[in-house]
Amino acid sequence: MSKESCNYWCPEDCFPITKSWNESRDCCTWDGVTCDMFNGHVIALEHSCSQLVGTFHPNSSLFQLHHLQTLNLAYNWSKLGVNNNDFNWSSIPHNIGRLTNLRHLNLSWSHFSGKIPTEISNLSNLVSLDLSGNYCELDERTFETMLHNFTNLELLSLYGVNISSPMPVNVSSSLRYVDLRYTNLRGVLTESFFLPPNSLETLKLGDNDLLKGVFPKTHRRNTLLMELDISFTGISGELPDSIGTFSSSNILNLRGCEFSGSIPDSIGNLTQITELDLYNNHFTGHIPSTISKLKHLTRLDLSDNSFPGEISEVFSNLQQLRYLDLSNNSFIGPFPSSILSLTQLDTLDLSSNSLCGPLPSNTSMLQKLTELHLSYNSLNGTIPSWVFSLPLLYSVSLQHNRFRGLADEVVKTNSTLIELHLSNNQLIGSFPQPLVNFTKLFTLGISSCELKDFPHFLRNIKTLRYLDISNNTICGQIPNWFSGMRWDSLWFLNLSHNSLTGNLPQFHYYSLEYLDLKFNSLQGPLPSSICNMRKLTLLDLSRNHFSNSIPSCLGSIVNLTVLDLRKNNFTGSLPPLCAQSTSLSTIVVNGNRFEGPVPVSLLKCHNLEVLDVGNNAINDTFPAWLGTLQELQVLILKSNKFHGPISTCQTKFCFPKLRIFDLSRNDFSGSLPAKGFGNFKAMIKLEGEDTEEIKYMELDSSFDASYEDSVSLVIKWQDVELQRISTIMTTIDLSSSHFEGVIPKTLKDLSSLWLLNLSHNNLIGDIPMELGQLNTLEALDPSWNRLTGKIPQELTRMNFLAFLNLSQNHLVGPIPHGLQFNTFENDSYVEQVIHHMFLNHWSLKKMRASHIFLVDLCGNQ
């Protein structure tokens, strides 16, 4: 049986064990079957990694084996896919409770699902129970009964089982190993769980974020607990001195908790510990010197905390240390010399701190180092040659520092390096030619380094998968040798923000998933080879000079998620996008010369979130059918030739997530869609909704998230390009068309609206006083219409109003005052005619201005 047929935990030579069974022979001779040598009863079925297939039938003859003591059906699934070699998501049968002589039951990682039967609690003789890695549920009552009845249980593993109940108060005194990670347990942990029975050796409660509590301060020496895992729980508070009483512990995993304060000196009492993980907490203060006593430590992770100051010299005694991660802290000062003596170190991560100065010139002792991560610091000087000459080194990350020049011996003797990140340094010039041993490289990032040419050493590399040479000063055409490379595994290519010219050549990178060429001067039509890139997930060709029509094949790339073609010279009609694809979430073609209608094939883009076809020559009526796209958040049709009235879609859920709606500078006519506004549920702030936390639209992808959705909006009369779209931004721009009728009062329901522009239309009637309920509105512009009546006093309720333009209407009466209106200075009325016509007619108060406000009332009476 091939290796691909087995799963990751099974040996390569695993095989379907039942195929070797011969019914003409005694079953006690079959593989995986053990019988009692005195009476012939079957007492054990060891069928792990046996590629068993099918549903676990509730009336299986298995449940007639009443003398069975061991049942092991673990790891019966295949890497080839669901339903190939597994139990087909079947439930664990109720008849499992009939096997009352079972001592060992292991059904882990075999694609069982559904509710674990209550009858399982009848197996009171169990010594070990492992149901982990399945998609099962265990109700609270059955869970408690199990723990009460299983008085002999030593091993309990329910990893991934959905228990969703409070943590039990007590556990059996016989337990030695407990794994309850990813079980949705909740409640407050008592001291008994941190001071367990003396028999307990392993306690794993990680990844249950609803578990709360603090670490107990009680000092009680526990002699047997060797592993404690409470990672990614809600355990909080300071780590007390009592942590030092776990002197027998080998592994202490507190990552992703809510601990704060300093690490106590008593941590030095854990003299048997091999792995200490405090990643992603809120620890402060200096690393205690007592850590130097942990001479058996092989793994130390203190990353993602707030440790300040220079990295202390406490590490030199940790001669067994193989993994050290101090990244994402507030360390300053030079590269710590104490690390240079750690001869067993294979991974070192000091990235995202504020280290400065040059790297040491000689680190010949770090001969076992395989990964070196020093990115996002302020290290400077030249990169010393030892970085590339360590014999086992395969990953180097030095990006976002101040390194200059290039080391004389760069990679001349290195043949192991597969990942190199040098972006955002001061590596001026071209990479030298003699990098001939650089042949195994998978990943290369050298953006923002002022490179002037394509690195010539790439000619010698056949294994490249990730290449980023963006934001340099590379100019001219893409060389033939580069476009002719046969990088069959290349999936990421970023050449953006250079000065590339000429036509885009025929690439042969048919495994590409991410192609970014934005901000260059490339021109001409798209090459036909782009149709062969069937794995493309992101295609960004924006801000170039491409022309001609878009190949229709782009609509057939199944995995394409982002298509950004903005600010080019593409012509013709938009192709039938999503013709065979439902993956597209972002389509931006703003700033081209597209004509014709919006393709109806977009109805198949069920995941579409952003559609921006602004600044083209599209000639169509309002595509109300887009309202059926339930994920659409941004719709921009501005500056085209759209015409006719705004019809609304007839479904109950029409534009439910729309937050940015821009139809400006078209030829729309008729009334504003009063009923349509009521469908914009995402523009309504729900009661209790938190709008203070600002998040941004981003891709849910496995590749480098260097693409972010952006949009151009008219704000305070100016086109403003927002490089990121916040999830709390809600705007409606219906300006510069031919809309008639009154301003709908239904706009008042859009309580999270941030910008409303109705200017340059033919609207009539009063300004609805109900608009005063829009208390998050920052910009309101109904200028250049035929509005009449007074300015409603209710508008003063808009607490965040920063821009108001009421000019070129037929308004009468006094200017309201109060709240935001009181912040307007006299000189906020920028047109001098206001002073001549109105200062004597209206009572204006001279108040301080807390923000920059503009009120232009010209043209009113």
The per-residue DSSP string of 43-111 comes to EEEE-TTS---S---TT-GGGG-TT--EEE-TT---TT-TTTSS-TTPPPPGGGGG-TT-SEEE-TTS-
Instruction: Check pLDDT > 50 for residue 85.
Output: no
SS3 4: helix
> What pLDDT, on a 0 to 100 scale, did the predictor assign at position 8?
54
Residue with tokens 């600044």: 615
Instruction: In whole angstroms, give the CA distance from residue 597 to residue 601.
Output: 11
Instruction: In whole angstroms, give the CA distance from residue 521 to residue 494.
Output: 15
> What pLDDT, on a 0 to 100 scale, did the predictor assign at position 647?
83
CB atoms within 10 A of CB 833: 11
Strands of 378-381's sheet in order across: 308-310, 330-333, 354-358, 378-381, 402-403
Structure tokens at 286: 């200096």
Do residues 523 and 502 touch, judged by C-beta distance below 8 A?
yes
Question: Which tens digits make up the pLDDT trace of 692-747?
Answer: 555 666 665 444 456 777 777 776 667 777 767 777 789 999 999 999 999 999 99
For residue 791, give the nearest of 775, 774, 807, 776 by alpha carbon: 807
> What pLDDT, on a 0 to 100 scale, did the predictor assign at position 246?
85
Lowest mean pLDDT among 242-246, 326-330, 464-468: 242-246
Structure tokens at 455: 């690195």
Report which of residues 768 and 87 the model is more confident about. Answer: 768
Question: Which tens digits make up the pLDDT trace of 246-284?
Answer: 888 999 999 999 999 999 999 999 999 999 999 999 999
> What pLDDT, on a 0 to 100 scale, did the predictor assign at position 3?
37
> What pLDDT, on a 0 to 100 scale, did the predictor assign at position 829?
35
Instruction: State the pLDDT confidence band at 850, using cuts at 50, 70 and 90.
Output: very low
Using the CB atoms, write b or e for 670-693: b if 16+ within 10 Å.
eebbeebbbbbebbebeeeeeeee
What residue spans in the chain does CATH classification 3.80.10.10 cover? 1-164, 166-270, 635-645+661-684+728-856
From residue 365, alpha-carbon distances to 90, 342, 412 in Å are 55, 7, 20
For residue 446, give the nearest of 436, 391, 412, 456 by alpha carbon: 456
Amino acid present at 486: R
Structure tokens at 415: 């043949």
- Beta-carbon contacts of residue 663 (< 8 Å; ≥ 6 apart): 622, 637, 638, 642, 646, 733, 734, 737
- Beta-carbon contacts of residue 421 (< 8 Å; ≥ 6 apart): 375, 396, 397, 398, 399, 443, 444, 445
Torsion of CA 673, 679, 680, 686, to 10 degrees: 140
Strands of 593-595's sheet in order across: 475-477, 499-503, 521-524, 545-548, 569-573, 593-595
> What pLDDT, on a 0 to 100 scale, did the predictor assign at position 833?
32
DSSP 529-563: GGGG-TT-SEEE--SSEEEEPPPGGGGG-TT--EE
Q: What is the mean pLDDT of residues 346-354?
A: 97
Where does residue 546 fall: left (phi above 0), alpha (psi -120 to 50 degrees), or beta otherwise?
A: beta
DSSP, res 696: B
> What pLDDT, on a 0 to 100 scale, did the predictor assign at position 533?
92
- Beta-carbon contacts of residue 598 (< 8 Å; ≥ 6 apart): 574, 613, 618, 620, 623, 626
DSSP-H helix ranges across 636-681: 674-677
- Beta-carbon contacts of residue 436 (< 8 Å; ≥ 6 apart): 457, 460
Residue 349's beta-bridge partner residues? 325, 373
Q: What is the mean pLDDT of residues 654-668?
A: 94
Structure tokens at 43: 């007492």
- Beta-carbon contacts of residue 689 (< 8 Å; ≥ 6 apart): none
Residue with tokens 């190199």: 420
> What pLDDT, on a 0 to 100 scale, did the predictor assign at position 362?
73
Instruction: In whole angstroms, give the CA distance from residue 653 to residue 67.
Output: 60
Structure tokens at 81: 């896919």
> What pLDDT, on a 0 to 100 scale, did the predictor assign at position 199?
79
Q: Phi, psi (5° rounding) for residue 447?
A: -75, 160
Do residues 554 and 525 touch, judged by C-beta distance below 8 A?
no
Do residues 592 and 571 touch, judged by C-beta distance below 8 A?
yes
Amino acid present at 643: H
- Pairing assessment for the beta strands 251-253 and 227-229 based on DSSP bridges: parallel
Contacts of the segment 825-833: beta carbons below 8 A, 24+ positions apart: 825/849, 828/853, 828/854, 828/855, 829/855, 829/856, 829/857, 830/854, 830/856, 831/807, 831/856, 831/857, 831/858, 833/858
Torsion of CA 800, 805, 811, 817, to 10 degrees: 30
Do residues 105 and 73 touch, judged by C-beta distance below 8 A?
no
> What pLDDT, on a 0 to 100 scale, did the predictor assign at position 844?
29
Pick the CATH number of 166-270 from 3.50.50.60, 2.30.30.100, 3.80.10.10, 1.20.1240.10: 3.80.10.10
Instruction: State the pLDDT confidence band at 78, using cuts at 50, 70 and 90.
Output: low
Instruction: In whole angstroms, give the CA distance from residue 785 to residue 798.
Output: 22
Do residues 686 and 749 touch, judged by C-beta distance below 8 A?
no
**Secondary structure E strands in 667-814:** 667-671, 711-715, 718-722, 731-733, 738-740, 755-757, 764-765, 779-781, 786-789, 803-805, 810-811
Question: Which tens digits make up the pLDDT trace of 93-115?
Answer: 899 999 999 999 999 988 888 99
First to last CA, the chain: 89
For residue 734, give the nearest of 788, 697, 681, 680 by alpha carbon: 680
SS3 674: helix
The CATH code of domain 635-645+661-684+728-856 reads 3.80.10.10
Contacts of the segment 499-506: beta carbons below 8 A, 24+ positions apart: 499/473, 499/474, 499/475, 500/474, 500/475, 500/476, 501/475, 501/476, 501/477, 502/476, 502/477, 502/478, 503/477, 503/527, 504/478, 504/546, 505/478, 505/480
Instruction: State the pLDDT confidence band at 582, using cuts at 50, 70 and 90.
Output: confident
Using the CB atoms, write b or e for 389-413: b if 16+ within 10 Å.
bbeebbbbbbbbbebeebbebbbbe
Instruction: Check pLDDT > 60 for residue 222.
Output: no
> What pLDDT, on a 0 to 100 scale, did the predictor assign at position 166?
85
pTM for this predicted structure: 0.81
Instruction: In whole angstroms, give the CA distance from residue 459 to residue 466.
Output: 15
Instruction: State the pLDDT confidence band at 60, using cuts at 50, 70 and 90.
Output: confident
- Beta-carbon contacts of residue 273 (< 8 Å; ≥ 6 apart): 249, 250, 251, 252, 294, 296, 297
Instruction: In whole angstroms, give the CA distance from residue 302 to residue 305.
Output: 7
Instruction: In whole angstroms, give the CA distance from residue 344 to residue 329.
Output: 24
From residue 635, alpha-carbon distances to 587, 590, 600, 676 in Å are 10, 11, 15, 14
Lowest mean pLDDT among 43-52, 334-343, 416-425, 619-628: 43-52
Superfamily of domain 1-164: Ribonuclease Inhibitor (3.80.10.10)
Report which of residues 588 and 215 the model is more confident about. Answer: 588
Instruction: In whole angstroms, give the CA distance from residue 141 to residue 125.
Output: 19
Q: What is the mean pLDDT of residues 189-215?
A: 83
Structure tokens at 329: 């802290």
Residue with tokens 């469908």: 679
Do residues 466 and 491 touch, judged by C-beta distance below 8 A?
yes
